[in-house]
Amino acid sequence: MSNKTTTNLFKKVCTATLLIGATSAAYADEGDLKTSFYGSLRLGADYVDAGTDDDAANGRDFLSRMGAKASVDLGNGLTGLGLVEYGMRGDDGVNFSQNNKPGLRQIVVGVKGDFGKVTYGSQTLIWHKFVRSAYFSDGLDSLRQGAIRDDDMLQWEKKAGNWKFGAALQTEKQDGDSFDQYQAGIEYKAGPVKLQAALAADKRGENTGNLYGVRGWYNVSDSITLSAFYHLAEEDFDLYGGNSSGNVRLKSTLSGNDVGGVTSCKNEERSTAGLYGKWKADKNQVHLRYALNSCDVKGDVASIKVEYIRYLSKKFRLWASVEQLDSDTTRLPSTGEDMSEIQLGVRFDF
């Protein structure tokens, strides 16, 4: 599909969204249809220091997106759901461009009722909803396992008292496997404590390994939140080709060279352990995280990331962050060279 065709298609989607929103106003009294259009603009610049000639300050799109969501009363306690969301990045996965097509992030249909919520389509995975949080303003957690969203996912979620449950299965590609993966998640919350666990089982191809995750949260006060997490992928969990790293963006700016950041550890057991803290007071907020990504053969990558956010309003904020990645260069092949990144950005949600 050409860029021109895709752009025209995207314009039609936006136009249809606005028409649906206008039409829904006529049904507001009946309350059977609700629609909304939303967006999040996240633009700024970063400076990557990887000790190469390509080190430079660059303008960036930090996962800007726009979308539309709708719900309709189906009667008998049932509600129909729909969501379409596009990212604003260009084909390079980094920069906003008027000449490149937007990328689909989510397209979901579903229904909810006393049984919980069932959704199908391209959507955020159960595993990430339960044991990983994109708490930094750029939407990236530089040390993570697997993908964040995927296609052809059938998911179920339900809350019951202090408990929350989730399950999913995926049917994708004509590869001879009816189901490519299964996922499950569970959460328990009581007072200031929240405990979470999740599993992703790889059923694609010959390898059938598992990805495990646990996470705990503690609200020290209204201003301070602490968290600890541990993720482990078995050696034969290769559904996403080893670790997927939020800092792929850093490496892609360096002529595609794998010179730093968190490299893939495919066909190795790999784990990520980390501590996270958040402090918020009035219009100021700080995120701090230390994490260690370990590969059996390639070694470790340690990450320290600090971010400061200034809220000018609930919808408009500024942020600045710095991250240092330290690689284990004592092993061959090593995880790469050390790397750091500084970000300055603006986020406007509407």
Q: What average pLDDT does the chain have?
A: 81
Tell which wins on pLDDT, 106 or 56: 106
Q: Is the pLDDT of residue 45 over 60?
A: yes
Kindly state the average pLDDT of the residues 229-246: 74
pLDDT at residue 250, rounded to an integer: 43
pLDDT band at 72 (very low <50, low <70, confident <90, very high): very high
Among the ranges given (53-57, 153-157, 271-275, 341-345), the one the predictor scored with the smallest mean pLDDT: 53-57
What is the pTM (predicted TM-score) of this model? 0.81
Long-range contacts of 105-110 (CB under 8 A, 24+ apart): 105/65, 105/67, 105/149, 106/67, 106/149, 107/83, 108/81, 108/82, 108/83, 108/84, 109/80, 109/81, 109/82, 110/80, 110/81, 110/82
pLDDT at residue 319, rounded to an integer: 97
Tell which wins on pLDDT, 177 or 2: 177
Kindly state the average pLDDT of the residues 53-73: 88
Would you say 123 and 96 are in contact if contact means Cβ atoms under 8 Å apart? no
Question: Measuring CA to CA, which residue among 244, 292, 330, 250 is closest to residue 50?
Answer: 250
pLDDT at residue 19, rounded to an integer: 43
Instruction: Give 74-91 as a 3 state SS string.
Output: EECCEEEEEEEEEECECC
Tell which wins on pLDDT, 298 or 330: 298
Among the ranges given (56-60, 154-158, 331-335), the one the predictor scored with the smallest mean pLDDT: 331-335
Q: Is the pLDDT of residue 293 over 90?
A: no
Span 196-227, pLDDT tens digits: 999 999 887 777 889 999 999 999 999 999 99
pLDDT at residue 240, rounded to an integer: 73
Tell which wins on pLDDT, 336 or 258: 336
pLDDT at residue 268, rounded to an integer: 83
Domains of the chain, CATH where assigned? 41-64+125-349 (2.40.160.10)
pLDDT at residue 175, rounded to an integer: 62
pLDDT at residue 133, rounded to an integer: 80
pLDDT band at 20 (very low <50, low <70, confident <90, very high): very low
pLDDT band at 289 (very low <50, low <70, confident <90, very high): very high
Span 245-287, pLDDT tens digits: 444 344 433 333 333 345 567 778 888 999 999 999 999 999 9
Question: Residue 80 is which amino acid?
Answer: G
What single string gives the DSSP state of each residue in 33-93?
EEEEEEEEEEEEEEEEESSSTT--EEEEE-S-EEEEEEEEEEETTEEEEEEEEEE-B-TTS
